[in-house]
């Protein structure tokens, strides 16, 4: 790191759990964020401000006026712009040292696997089960840690799935892909603006801890937030040996 970076990240470096070595790991990390909306916005902002070396944003949508109530990467002036381009502009204003790759696409199949293979950490900030399962399957296949978040109305959840540890469950252990879950979208149900900020910021925190290999991650634990009462519930999770994605037959 140069002198300017040492000054920029000095409040991290002062923490004995991080120091210069931990900050160096952050500046060398490659993070993939799927979704540049409510969760992806705070996650990307904090990862960029922390100095993550390379951030790849993947989203095929454009900024809409209804997004601005909670998607803090974007501004009124950028309504109609691709979210990933709007996001890149915001992140580069915060930290020009961060290399931001903006991909306006709905990454699927081989393309999704290609992107995940190149990442050190993946943040799932999308809003549908099919994408979550596809991201999870690729992360399991290539043993890339996954930080998964979700939020709707006043309810949020977050966990870490890190199958580099053979005892770790994956997303499919928790939500089997062959079971039908009702898709609930913000456009029909609404979402409390600060809720996505809370969950997205926690996703950034978990990603940074994984990058630095410090602290205890949320692997094996699902945190649920009821923002109406501001109460957290922790649910323990175990690997499902019959999981169709990470089970013993695989």
pLDDT, the chain, mean: 94
What pLDDT is recorded for position 13? 97
DSSP assignment of 101-142? EEE-S---HHHHHHHHHT-SEEEE--S-HHHHHHHHHHHHHH
| Residue appearing with tokens 């809720």 | 195
What pLDDT is recorded for position 168? 94
Percent of the chain with pLDDT strictly greater than 70: 96
How many C-beta neighbours within 10 Å does residue 120 have?
A: 18
State the sign of the Cα–Cα–Cα–Cα dihedral 93, 105, 154, 205: negative
What pLDDT is recorded for position 188? 64
Could you tell me where the beta strands, DSSP code E, fall in the chain? 30-34, 54-58, 99-103, 121-124, 146-152, 155-161, 221-226, 231-236
What pLDDT is recorded for position 236? 96
What pLDDT is recorded for position 186? 58
What pLDDT is recorded for position 108? 85
Parallel, antiparallel or unpaired: strands 231-236 and 30-34: unpaired
Residues of the chain with pLDDT under 70: 181-188, 249-250
Residue 99 backbone phi and psi in degrees, to 5: -85, 110
What pLDDT is recorded for position 31? 98
Tokens of 192: 């409390």
Q: What angle do CA 91, 65, 105 make, to 5 degrees?
A: 55
CA 140 – CA 163 distance, rounded (Å):
6
What are the chain's domains?
3-236 (3.40.50.720)
Tokens of 2: 């140069």
Catalytic residue among 170, 186, 243, 246: 186
Q: Is 186 a catalytic residue?
A: yes
Are the CB atoms for 29 and 53 separated by under 8 Å?
Answer: yes
């Amino acid at each position: 790191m140069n002198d300017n970076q040492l000054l920029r990240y000095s409040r991290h470096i002062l923490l004995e759990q991080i120091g210069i070595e931990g900050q160096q790991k952050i500046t060398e990390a490659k993070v993939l964020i799927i979704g540049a909306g409510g969760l992806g916005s705070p996650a990307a902002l904090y990862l960029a401000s922390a100095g993550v070396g390379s951030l790849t944003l993947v989203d095929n949508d454009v900024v809409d006026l209804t997004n601005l109530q909670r998607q803090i990467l974007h501004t009124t002036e950028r309504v109609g712009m691709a979210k990933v381009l709007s996001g890149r502009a915001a992140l580069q204003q915060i930290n020009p040292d961060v290399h931001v790759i903006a991909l306006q696409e709905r990454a699927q199949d081989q393309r999704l696997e290609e992107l995940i293979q190149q990442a050190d950490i993946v943040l799932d900030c999308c809003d549908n089960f099919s994408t979550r399962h596809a991201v999870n399957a690729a992360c399991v296949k290539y043993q890339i840690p996954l930080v998964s978040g979700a939020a709707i109305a006043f309810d949020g959840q977050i966990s870490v799935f890190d199958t580099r540890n053979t005892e770790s469950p994956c997303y499919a252990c928790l939500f089997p892909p062959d079971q039908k879950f009702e898709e609930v979208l913000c456009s029909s149900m609404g979402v409390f603006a600060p809720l996505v900020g809370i969950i997205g910021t926690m996703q950034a925190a978990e990603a940074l801890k994984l990058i630095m290999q410090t602290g205890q991650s949320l692997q094996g634990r699902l945190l649920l937030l009821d923002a109406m009462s501001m109460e957290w519930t922790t649910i323990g999770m175990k690997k499902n040996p019959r999981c169709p994605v990470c089970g013993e037959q695989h």
